[in-house]
Structure 1
């Protein structure tokens, strides 16, 4: 957490607020929020004076193209990549938000219009780094396909799953196989597709793969329409909460009645992560 819908919601919120804005000053409150071996001073030098292009997303990363001052239509000089992980959150405002949920300053990026991009992270699990476009292209090639892209078809999914013996739930969480999916939406998609999370990925028949393909895309779209899932820590920009938690069918519902058959939802642990499912409905 956050997963694709939450990070995409942040991207959509931040895009219009930052496009064309120039970075005036940068303050990093904690050295460990600067990733990739960069020092805070090197990070400041890399981004200061540059202009934000259109904010992007790949998998669970936020991508901020940074251009030389002037036309953001020119190719970016570098990319600022952000991993928000569990507790990272953003605000764009003149003053730091006065909120009990925004009291752990991480990085401040002052903009040329008097506002500041504030990054807050109570557990400091996320962080920023700066990559050349070429370096990012190489990193991005290591990630699996985006499940909401038009090019991601059931046949593509089948080619990924067929040779694999690992449990299907573990495969869905592997960012090298499929980008952006995490524990919440993997559990929900498998429930919608009526597939046991312990099934070997390669054992799925084509009809089941098509069903799971549709379920993955549908649950991600539904969550995105709800601005994501706020269970505890996640907030979109400027404190906005998601609402998909009200529509979860099995995730964190151990012992509750399955919406389909009424039997108890079960929790198991797979590769150190909780999986929630109905043994009666999911085969």
Structure 2
């Protein structure tokens, strides 16, 4: 290793003399320096960047490609001129102001009456924005109200929580039609034939001596008041017409009532349907 032989001049640099010789001081302005080779293109554009090529020979500006509905890229924030709908400050921060809202709507929403009346059972509950009454929905008897916490839908349904008690049966809702019905657990009950000592059902009319019971009369009765009743055949004349026509001096009175009146020297008396006609004597 060789050391410099002198202190050198201010600003000079040591230059190697090659193998076997000591370095010497030299003025950098008098030295010839070779140039570096150009680098190969090792940079390429990514998403949202305009395609470019770079080999190190000169400065390059990278530009953003315009954004589309399907690709990312650069956008101009609100090019609406003096009616901007988005605000951007000097630091690139985006904000939305009241002026932006008015520009986007095309009018000032403050003071605009967008009220729509509320109707309950066909009647106006609130007809103007100045009517600030609250609409309170409450359930009545037999009604359940539920509200979906996600959709805020309000559902009215029948309260079917009643528990059957004796002959009071709960109401149920058909899941397919939504209709209401009552499921009464009917069961068959057999009753005996009525008798003199117990209640029951009368026996059905049955054929006896004839194919059809039509020309004769039958009576349902008990032979002694205690045995089960049976059908007894009555004679055909049991209900025959016993009406006898009433005539006065050969003329029928028809359907008129017979009314006997007292005449001169005649008296009438009635005792349990027996009429007595008496004459009154007088001296001659």
User: What range describes the TM-score normalised by the shorter chain of this pair?
Assistant: under 0.3
Which protein is bigger by CA-based radius of gyration? 2
Greater RCO (CA < 8 Å, at least 6 residues apart)? 1
Q: Which protein has the bigger helix share?
A: 1
TM-score, L = length of structure 1:
0.15
- TM-score of the pair, normalised by structure 2: 0.15
